[in-house]
């Protein structure tokens, strides 16, 4: 009974769009995640002082969830636009949010007839948050190692920072991307063949994109940002990057 009610509520939210473009359910989830993010940001120093690793893990998980929600929203908006452009389907009635602003209920001719949009994938969201959660201790120890191996001094900070970036990009990044695609494939129920195919299709393009974006970000991170904020900084800047990974991981083409 409870599951049926929950499915009906989610299905009803999933069919509704804000001004005909942005899916309502995705927006609600995004706003909830942002509220949690703001709460973590306001209390981060206090939480980090007591439990630095756990605080980093939770922060990483929430930001990974934000990134995947953004990616799912992009996919839903693109799918919606594609259906409307080709006039596909009239399976369900989609009542737009802007219609609710009118004093009178919308007439029948004002209702858009569109095919049911792709539902929000909560399992996929959970996988991304889990990866962010369990990867955080590894990142924590890695950044700690870099800070000790290449200490910054007042007289010479640029060269050690560049050494940190080089080590991070040529040692950690390739392994981290391999771990990401492996984790996602296994969590999705894929086997060895699925992993090999995914690595062949998306690993090298993603690694090349990594080398374009992250060296610049990491120079700023290692040169300016205090060590306690380095992982949250990377995770915050990396929302767009993680969204890109999410889209790459879910791309069947």
- Where in the chain are the domains? 2-250
pLDDT digits (tens, 9 = 90+) for 93-136: 444 444 444 455 544 444 444 455 568 999 999 999 999 999 99
Both tokens assigned to 239:
């929302």
pLDDT at 239 over 80: yes
C-alpha–C-alpha distance, residues 3 and 156, integer Å: 61
Q: Is 184 helix (H, G, I), strand (E, B) or coil?
A: helix
Q: Which of 59, 28, 34 is nearest to 45 (CA)?
A: 59
CA–chain centroid gap for 191, Å, is 24
pLDDT at 89 over 70: no
Both tokens assigned to 6:
């929950």
Contact 70, 63 (CB under 8 A): no
The pLDDT of residue 1 is: 62
Over pLDDT 90: what percentage of the chain? Answer: 41
The pLDDT of residue 28 is: 93
Ranked by mean pLDDT, the top range of 5-14, 151-160, 162-171 is 162-171
C-alpha–C-alpha distance, residues 107 and 178, integer Å: 53
The rounded mean pLDDT for the chain is: 82
The pLDDT of residue 81 is: 80
């Amino acid at each position: 009974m409870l599951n049926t009610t929950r499915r009906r509520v989610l299905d009803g939210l999933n069919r509704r769009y804000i001004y005909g473009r942005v899916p309502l359910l995705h927006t609600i989830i995004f706003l909830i995640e942002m509220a949690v993010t703001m709460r973590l940001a306001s209390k981060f120093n206090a939480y980090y002082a007591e439990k630095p690793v756990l605080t980093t893990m939770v922060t990483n998980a929430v930001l990974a969830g934000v990134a995947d929600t953004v990616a799912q929203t992009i996919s839903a908006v693109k799918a919606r636009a594609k259906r409307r452009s080709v006039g596909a389907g009239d399976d369900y009635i989609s009542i737009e949010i802007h219609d609710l602003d009118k004093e009178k209920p919308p007439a029948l001719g004002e209702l858009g007839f569109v095919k049911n949009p792709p539902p929000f994938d909560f399992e996929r969201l959970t996988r991304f948050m889990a990866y962010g959660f369990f990867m955080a201790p590894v990142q924590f120890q890695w950044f700690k190692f870099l800070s000790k191996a290449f200490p910054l001094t007042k007289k010479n900070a640029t060269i050690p920072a560049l050494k940190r970036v080089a080590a991070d990009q040529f040692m950690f990044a390739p392994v981290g991307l391999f771990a990401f695609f492996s984790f996602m494939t296994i969590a999705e129920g894929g086997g060895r063949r699925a992993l090999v195919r995914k690595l062949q299709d998306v690993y090298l393009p993603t690694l090349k994109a990594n080398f374009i974006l992250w060296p610049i970000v990491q120079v700023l991170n290692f040169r300016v940002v205090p060590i306690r904020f380095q992982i949250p900084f990377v995770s915050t800047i990396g929302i767009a990057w993680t969204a890109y990974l999410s889209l790459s991981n879910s791309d069947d083409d």
